[in-house]
Structure 1
């Protein structure tokens, strides 16, 4: 049976089961918005699903933060990553050279684009696990609430969550309601945003919600990088060329996204939500800002220098804009997604069955200029120092089935099973113009005109069963315990990097490759190896909680999480695994390509959740201690192949680390109309050991943990002032993220790259009708016009480049919405 057929059969089975009578119906009541309760002028309840059932945030024995629709609207996030400021010890950046998520939580995170390296902070959208960091920076227009679960989730959200989980709930269709919501924004950098949603009932049991959005901008970088090729010790037609870029804007956005949702609710005990997701992202390639240290190769060559007329890094970006050698850079970073998802719930009186099914296809074409430079024309030829396009096709299937009991007594439980199957085919084509400055040409022409291709593929599956029970021991005292067992199996195909005529294992100049993935390992099996990896791991959680009084809740939790091992999609770069006669050494290649072992996290935390002053103040604080074992680390290592300088990304289990810290969240209503929010996070992380299979220039454990700022905090205030039939909302937010390591160098501690500490100030002024039927909002972001890094990479012995966050931005947004009961 095909997976599509399986999804449809599952739907039919639960739909038939919907007609089973329920002996006792329980309907969950949606949480009112965060903020003031109109009747009591106190804080409203917040309902979360961190335990896979609806619970009050203040009575949930998990460190979870909730960001609801009202906060999202006032803060005007560009993507899901901007909501990190409302969560303690949650840091969001981007992967160097990509518009991809680099999320970090409690000292562990992701800073690589490697497609087989699964992130330790999982992102789930309507319970479907997003497999790729390239699409985790979601648009937030259609989002009802975001729940951030901090720390390893060893039972209910157990797939690869050693750091935590970001659980996104999108808005559902409404039965019996006709409605629409429209929003438009214009702003700096020629920003244009159009977003809309409409709700249409279809009879008494069906409702449709359609959502569409478009975003465009010219980008905030300038193509101002300079070049000055001063090489004289090797003959080169590029030697002596100098100049700067044309100053055009770079890094613009061009994204369409849409969701179509159909809700069927034939009775009060059954509902089914079918969704189709569509993303068409044709944004420009992300440019780099050269920050190469003195003494390394690209400094010696005098290439990729900054614009001497400007010290602003945003004016010193560079990109080659090549469309030849399989790069197609002027088409930008293309990410196309099509997803089909089906969520069903069946209440049988003593509990609820839930099924989550999904099929998601993703196509990524990601050409980039790594060490930035101007688009140099030398004798009519564009020079690439190091340009590459990372291309992949990916398919993911997921099925989860669980049961949440409602026994009406002292004991309840959640139990179920999870299955995910993932297939990926990947190729990277590289154009290495810098080699023409230091060595002889390739057998097929100059390095600057000869694509060098690396391809591999993976098929993997993850299967798990889980159960968690809650027992009320006495009045206010509750014990929770659960476990999950996961089986993972992966198979990897790989071929060492070759030139196009070598794809059939010989020298065939007639081979035609129109894009990198045409050279995939299945169509050209010569030299391809296969290796497999299996693992099976138990994880668990145990907690005890005590409701001391209606306003004070205490809990303690121990949990274990794990993240499965992975392969390195860069292994085999620059064809380094050779015998003495120059032939492939596939045994050595296979040994180097072996998957890492799973990493584990053991976490202890204690927490206090409280409300006081007639629910005008809510204060939650958590202390934690996490030990990470078999940490999966990556380091870029310089190497010499046949006398030529190259680099390779290595990926291995290297370290053990301990992170401890504290997290605090405060919400208060000191006066009518005024809401204050504060978030504070502190974490102290240290390596206990760091042992690699490669020589290092220093003790790697001397460096801090990457993507682990010691201190993060934010303060937010919203004041609502009624004016006749209107209201004026004033919002201000200041947030701070401490300095944190991004990429660790193999050569020296001094070459490590950091994201600098930064404090950002944002604000908005909104004039809206009292019932929110329409509004006008003035938006200001990064009002102090700070320059701060969002990504930075060191390639040992060769170069270093970085990306920066947006400068000061002003925008104007208008919106309207209406809803009415259908006749």
Structure 2
């Protein structure tokens, strides 16, 4: 949306309240001072945040940012992560070693790839909830609008949105347009992208078809240049890969992390009357991109460094590593393989003053994700593949009113069913360096861990607004959610131990065939544990809004969010047999949020500003930790945390002239764990205490400012875009070994630019763009694996590209 950054400095709640009034002062004071003389006027933006049809964003009592198609396309974003800088409080990252989303907002985030753990920042595509971070990072093509709602959305959007919701609307078929659009992008790192869309009315005003597809390919911006040695291998210890004391090695310098993605959407819109629409949609995604490489950033104090597997200390993008191990069911040279197929039916039917909506969807996902987690070349210190099959069904029915009286509402029923099978196959060769005895046993014998989950969620909700007067409005909502999950799993064992729990040397990984074959618990029942739990939780909100004038609107309210309890796909990595307490899920996470905001239109419509103050308390917050045991490390998550976060968000736009528009956003927040204690080894004694420390992924300051200048020519328009964004340093992950092993995401200032020429006929256009043109280096994810090594991921360096586009009417 639109934003003018401020820089308040508040250190406690008293300063926060005072600063909030100061932040609101421009909206409260400046509005009467501007005349309504003719001049540039910003376009009105509508949102669907109330789920009762389109409303003017400046009159909607929600902290929401709306990004239109033109906003999104100005800087040619690669995926959903790229839009985060346009939204106050929204921070984008990745989980190291994965092409995942990792969104953070208002003190909460998801920093792991756990398949059963759902992100507190929900992603909804055409009203279908995408639960897992692995496939939330949508490619940006054929998008109509993105709305980012900040704060708990426990009433209308429900499903685990304690931090907020990213609501994406893709383009629908159009009954009145017959055209085709084709775009071609090329740029650094061998990047090529072709995007196409075709819209064809089949029956006038009744039936239309739309196709949208994308093909993306690149070489990747990392280099396989990791080096090691001279190795220090103590006498009597086995070394992975047959390594010997004093040995050195280095990668071949080849490109890593490339893309190879094909995706498409086929849509059929049927409108037999003016009051009824049915949209049938088919989605297909095939991602065969390179395995995302890891940068090993181990230094003094880490065992990898002591052994000689250490960071080179230069440009991290030229110090990545991968083994491309194709043994042990990995097939790593084929990269990450993700296949998604979805079928969706969205219907709306207007009956007098009411509209009935139905959203039905089935989304199936298969993933094969091998990786070299150690970031090394040649030596198999820790190679693994994570495989899963996920089937998700969703049905939502809601009824929205459009009454002439003072009261309007939306009520609905939501159901989701999800079945997931998961297996991880690991070769943990680095453990051989710690053990006496049989040489390189773990380097040659893969271990397998499998589990599965069946989950059902059912919710009923109602939300309404009553106009006490023309200016004073009160809104309230209630949602009741019932979720049930059943988890079945087996501890990690050598593949040879699957048949009967012993060790059959003849039953090898070749005999198993595929990793997910290990999830057949009837075939391999030894050590299998089952647990089941269900949760019922009400969520609700109460809000007051007031129209101070035609151009000034404010609101204040309270809302409660709920994130259901969850199981862990890593249970049993170290603990064998699995203790009953370890097989239990976490409890639900609860968010209580207080919010006050003001939205003002200034300068006769030439400018606007939105200011929001928030205070959120999270109880039983679900936090992930890498728990260290005498025999290894296990990624676990706990209801370890009670935390609070407060902050101020600003966003606005200003059309200085007909040709020049400024937009910006800014955020300040103060977050800390009131309490964070966890018993990581289940012995009844708390092993860690992070009370008083900041939560992960909570930068104190964030902001962005961009300028758009349009130069009108006889043959067309030229748009010049320039943007600068900043994000403060934040904690990436805490270590249970010692605070010296904590990891961080460094602060960064990133500059982007774009120049677009669009011909006056609107038939063709060309865009040149530069991303991160000051070549900033910054981490997007970082994890310390005990005191062994650090695995990190980095954002792309400077990137220059060109886009060519044509529109053809026929």
TM-score of the superposition, structure 2-length normalised? 0.92
Distance in 2 (CA, whole Å) between partners of 1:650 and 1:561 is 23
SS of the residue aligned with 1:91?
coil
1:448-467 aligned within 5 A:
448-467=443-462
1:717-796 aligned within 5 A:
717-796=707-786
Distance in 2 (CA, whole Å) between partners of 1:118 and 1:295 is 34
User: What is aligned with 1:102?
Assistant: 102
Aligned 8 A contact 1:101 1:137 in 2: yes
State the shift of 1:234 in Å: 2.5
Aligned 8 A contact 1:234 1:438 in 2: no
User: What is aligned with 1:595?
Assistant: 585
Distance in 1 (CA, whole Å) between partners of 2:60 and 2:756 is 34
User: What is aligned with 2:368?
Assistant: 365
Aligned 8 A contact 1:637 1:795 in 2: no
Q: Deviations over 1:502-555 (max 9, x none)?
A: 112233344311221111143422221110011000000111101111100010
Q: Deviations over 1:533-585 (max 9, x none)?
A: 110000001111011111000101100001001111001003x23xxxxxx4x
Aligned 8 A contact 2:679 2:688 in 1: no
- 2:354 matches 1:351: yes
Distance in 2 (CA, whole Å) between partners of 1:556 and 1:211 is 41
State the shift of 1:172 in Å: 0.4
Distance in 2 (CA, whole Å) between partners of 1:770 and 1:93 is 39
- 2:391 matches 1:395: yes
Which sections of structure 2, spanning at least 5 residues, go unmatched? 1-37
- 2:295 matches 1:289: yes
State the shift of 1:230 in Å: 1.3
Which sections of structure 1, spanning at least 5 residues, go unmatched? 1-38, 376-382, 578-583
SS of the residue aligned with 2:103?
strand
Aligned 8 A contact 1:531 1:594 in 2: yes
State the shift of 1:449 in Å: 1.6
Distance in 1 (CA, whole Å) between partners of 2:127 and 2:715 is 40
User: What is aligned with 1:492?
Assistant: 487
Distance in 2 (CA, whole Å) between partners of 1:564 and 1:157 is 14
Aligned 8 A contact 2:298 2:311 in 1: no
1:569-584 aligned within 5 A:
569-574=569-574, 576-577=575-576, 584=577
User: What is aligned with 2:471?
Assistant: 476
User: What is aligned with 2:13?
Assistant: none
SS of the residue aligned with 1:330?
helix
User: What is aligned with 2:280?
Assistant: 274
Deviates more, 1:128-137 or 1:161-170: 128-137
User: What is aligned with 1:10?
Assistant: none
Distance in 2 (CA, whole Å) between partners of 1:556 and 1:778 is 43
State the shift of 1:612 in Å: 1.4
1:191-230 aligned within 5 A:
191-204=191-204, 205-228=206-229, 229-230=231-232
Q: Deviations over 1:164-213 (max 9, x none)?
A: 00000000000032111110011000000000000011112100000110
Q: Deviations over 1:645-696 (max 9, x none)?
A: x111121100100100000001010111111101001111011111111367
Distance in 2 (CA, whole Å) between partners of 1:549 and 1:396 is 46
1:125-274 aligned within 5 A:
125-204=125-204, 205-228=206-229, 229-236=231-238, 237-240=242-245, 241-274=247-280
TM-score of the superposition, structure 1-length normalised? 0.90
Distance in 2 (CA, whole Å) between partners of 1:214 and 1:701 is 47
Number of residue equivalences: 758
Aligned 8 A contact 1:441 1:447 in 2: no
Deviates more, 1:222-231 or 1:193-202: 222-231
Aligned 8 A contact 1:97 1:286 in 2: yes
SS of the residue aligned with 2:306?
helix
Given the alignment, which residue of 645, 648, 652 partners 1:659?
645
Aligned 8 A contact 2:647 2:668 in 1: yes
SS of the residue aligned with 1:447?
helix
Aligned 8 A contact 2:674 2:692 in 1: no
User: What is aligned with 2:9?
Assistant: none
Q: Deviations over 1:701-758 (max 9, x none)?
A: 2431101111110001111111112111100110011101111111222221111000
SS of the residue aligned with 2:605?
coil
Aligned 8 A contact 1:124 1:168 in 2: yes
Aligned 8 A contact 2:296 2:320 in 1: yes
Q: Deviations over 1:40-90 (max 9, x none)?
A: 630111110001021110111110000111111102111011111111010
User: What is aligned with 2:318?
Assistant: 315
Deviates more, 1:632-641 or 1:803-812: 632-641
Aligned 8 A contact 2:487 2:567 in 1: yes
SS of the residue aligned with 1:592?
coil
State the shift of 1:357 in Å: 0.5
- 2:401 matches 1:405: yes
Answer 1 or 2: higher relative contact order, Cα 8 Å, separation at least 6.
2
State the shift of 1:440 in Å: 4.6
Aligned 8 A contact 2:276 2:347 in 1: yes
Distance in 1 (CA, whole Å) between partners of 2:415 and 2:302 is 47
- 2:70 matches 1:48: no
Distance in 2 (CA, whole Å) between partners of 1:708 and 1:768 is 40
SS of the residue aligned with 1:92?
coil
Deviates more, 1:363-372 or 1:742-751: 742-751
State the shift of 1:454 in Å: 0.3
State the shift of 1:299 in Å: 2.0
Q: Deviations over 1:263-308 (max 9, x none)?
A: 00011000000000000000101111111132232222222x234x
CA distance 1:442–1:607, shift in 2 (3 Å): farther
User: What is aligned with 2:308?
Assistant: 302
CA distance 1:325–1:626, shift in 2 (3 Å): same
Distance in 2 (CA, whole Å) between partners of 1:137 and 1:44 is 29
Distance in 1 (CA, whole Å) between partners of 2:57 and 2:163 is 20
Distance in 2 (CA, whole Å) between partners of 1:113 and 1:404 is 37
State the shift of 1:442 in Å: 6.6
- 2:699 matches 1:709: yes
User: What is aligned with 2:563?
Assistant: 563
SS of the residue aligned with 1:501?
helix
Q: Deviations over 1:592-643 (max 9, x none)?
A: 12000000000000000000111000111000000000011111122223xx
